A and B are shown apart, each in its own frame.
Chain A
Amino acid sequence: MKALNDVNLTINEGELFGLLGPNGAGKTTLIKILCTLLLPTSGEAKVLGYDVQKETNSIRQKINMVSGGETSGYGLLTVRENIWLFSQLYGIPTKEANRRIEMLMKELKLEHKMNSKVRTLSTGLRQKANMVRGFMTDPDLIFLDEPTLGLDVNASRLIRDFIKKWMSEKPTRTMLLTTHYMVEADELCDRVAIINDGRVLACDTPQNLKRLIHQDAVLKLEIKQVAEVSAFRNIPGVRNFTHDQNIATGTTMLKFILDDEAAVADIVAAVPKSGSRIVSVEKTEPTLEDVFVTLVGRGLTNHEV
């Protein structure tokens, strides 16, 4: 079984690149290859210009990784001690390591837990500590594998804000983010690759990906009940049209699938001509989730156990 198949991606320096895919799509496999933890059975992968098979040490000096639900560290040690330990693997002098730990902990609102033992931390606090560990080496490239997995709204937002700040402060910093949360990818990523069954189905900016199905923009129009709706069908730019009478409310729900958004004005103008008036208008913009469903054929959670 191939975990990855014909994957061909280029991530540019300074880019926040997202990988979207259901469980088992191959996201973590790809990250492990790029982190030098796994060898590709065929093909070639380069990180920051270095080959993942032959130049591992050059890569390792410049990268770091944080995974969601990560349970690393030693419960007997305090948060500061744990992060200091990992800083020593990168040769950071203790004084600078401690300064960075304090700075990043303050940034992630974790400073009050600096001297708490790791085993006493909640999931959210532990993940913040993992973030401090990963970012304290100031990597040129960082891999975040579902960093907000299982976190509450506030903790997730804090981490997203931190990620944005981190990226904005130095234009050469690069990040590869995998996430299950479409909104997160939409909000954070410069480009997104949608991956399923080990294949990259699409790769572009979130805006361009949404434009892939933009032609399927949907307009929902609720109007006062009318007897004759056939005039709406022939408006230029309308690809598909359905209607539904609601006797209880005395309204008709018109649903248009548009080839051309310019048709919206003509549709709205046609309502008074039909002898009716508009009760409500809703134009549905495609989301990244719609793109995902269109490309993959199912939602992200359909196959989760």
Chain B
Amino acid sequence: MKFEEFPKPSWLVMNIRAVFGRAYPRIIGVNRELSWVFFETVLPLLGVAGYVYVYKALEAPAQYIGYVIIGGAMTAYWMNVLWSMAAQMYWEKEMGNLELYLIAPISRMSVLGGMALGGMFSSSVRALSTIFVGMVVFGISLSLPDPLMFTGIFIFTMIALYGMGMMFASLYMLWGREAWHMSSLFTEPIYLVSGFYFPVKGFVSMLGNPGFWIAAGASIIPITLGLDGMRQCLYPGNRDGFLPLWLELAILVALSVLFLFLAKYSLAYMENLGKREGRLTMRWQ
């Protein structure tokens, strides 16, 4: 058995390889299980359709149909972060992969980064499918006069959102199934306060000052400002935006830094705690 020596990669190259290695199962999985075409396009659209018909019945402005479709598309990322990204460490532990990741000479953030990259890819397929089917079925039209701003908003929404998912992942690593309740807690309420199916500025219109604070509080969830920013970019000229675009982008950048830092810190803390208590790789928790 001959093992060829290879130049020792730098820390960065090694971690980049680890990120792509870990992302691979998610990316390849999209092609291997074609049942996703049904589950990832038709089913999400059914949920969205309910809101679309309500707006149509109320003869709401046309852009509201677009708002709902965009919200439906972004649901893919939120669900992915909550139920797949955050819970992934739990599943990795149950499958027996976690200890193999933990004994590897790489940053734990690379493993989470790989999960995030893979999750973003598979969720993007679902999100784009939802938008495409939404355009075909409901005839929405989108314009993009400022693609740079849209790209910035989208990218930093993703970084902040998946950074948040990474932070949750460290909780799942030790809490196990107990952390399920956290995901349940965050699912439906966030649909409401983050404005998945209506502009978050609606809170201000309906409730005044308290509404502003509800929207501001919900902005800690990156998808709130991400959704609002993307809606402003895709439907320019309307007055449904919560905050100025530049401010939303700045907050999203800050949230990205914050959540990545918290993810790194909480992962290191939880790993150390797990190693001390002997629960790090203990299954069936």
Task: Report which A residues bind B (CB closer than 8 A).
Answer: 3, 29, 32, 35-39, 57, 60-61, 63-65, 67, 70-74, 76-77, 81, 84-93, 96, 99-100, 103-104, 107, 133, 138, 165-166, 169
For B8, B22, B100, which residue has the most chain A Cβ atoms within 10 angstroms?
Answer: B100
Q: Mark out the residues of chain B between 18 and 70 whose CB falls within 8 Å of any chain A CB in the assembled complex.
A: 18, 20-22, 24-25, 28-29, 32-33
Please give, as numbers and ranges, the residues of chain A lying within 8 Å of B17 by CB-CB distance: 88-89, 91
With beta carbons under 8 angstroms apart, the residue of B9, B32, B96 that contacts A72 is B96
- Of all chain B residues, which has the CB nearest A39? B275
Please give, as numbers and ranges, the residues of chain B lying within 8 Å of A133 by CB-CB distance: 100
Please give, as numbers and ranges, the residues of chain B lying within 8 Å of A71 by CB-CB distance: 95-96
**Nearest CB in chain B: distance from A44 CB, A:** 15
Q: Give the number of residues in B that approach A within 8 Å (Cβ atoms).
A: 37
Interface pair A38/B97, CB less than 8 Å apart? no
Q: In the complex, what distance in Å separates the CA atom of A81 from the CA atom of B281?
A: 24
Q: List 8 A-B contacts (CB under 8 A).
A: A35-B99, A37-B275, A73-B95, A74-B25, A74-B95, A86-B100, A88-B20, A89-B106
For A74, A76, A88, which residue has the most chain B Cβ atoms within 10 angstroms?
Answer: A88
Q: In the complex, what distance in Å separates the CA atom of A73 from the CA atom of B103?
A: 15
Interface pair B1/A37, CB less than 8 Å apart? no
Residue B188 CB within 8 A of the other chain: no
Interface pair B280/A60, CB less than 8 Å apart? no
**Nearest CB in chain B: distance from A88 CB, A:** 3
- Of all chain B residues, which has the CB nearest A143? B103
Interface pair A37/B280, CB less than 8 Å apart? yes
CB within 8 Å for A81 and B275 given contacts A72-B100, A92-B6 = no
Please give, as numbers and ranges, the residues of chain B lying within 8 Å of A73 by CB-CB distance: 95, 97
Q: Mark out the residues of chain B between 249 and 277 whose CB falls within 8 Å of any chain A CB in the assembled complex.
A: 272, 275-276
Interface pair B9/A138, CB less than 8 Å apart? no
CB within 8 Å for A57 and B100 given contacts A38-B275, A89-B21, A91-B8 = no
Secondary structure at chain B's binding surface: helix, strand, loop or mixed? helix
Q: In the complex, what distance in Å separates the CA atom of A93 from the CA atom of B3?
A: 13
**Closest CB pairs A-B (n = 5):** A88-B21, A91-B14, A89-B104, A60-B105, A91-B9
Interface pair B103/A103, CB less than 8 Å apart? no
Q: In the complex, what distance in Å separates the CA atom of A107 from the CA atom of B267?
A: 38
Interface pair A77/B28, CB less than 8 Å apart? yes
**Nearest CB in chain A: distance from B194 CB, A:** 31
Q: In the complex, what distance in Å separates the CA atom of A282 from the CA atom of B25?
A: 60
Interface pair A70/B1, CB less than 8 Å apart? no
Please give, as numbers and ranges, the residues of chain B lying within 8 Å of A92 by CB-CB distance: 6
Please give, as numbers and ranges, the residues of chain B lying within 8 Å of A87 by CB-CB distance: 21
Given contacts A76-B29, A90-B105, A138-B3, 16 further A-B contacts (CB under 8 A): A35-B99, A36-B275, A37-B99, A63-B103, A72-B95, A76-B32, A85-B22, A86-B100, A87-B21, A88-B18, A88-B22, A89-B101, A89-B105, A91-B9, A91-B14, A96-B6
Please give, as numbers and ranges, the residues of chain A lying within 8 Å of B8 by CB-CB distance: 91
Residue B278 CB within 8 A of the other chain: yes
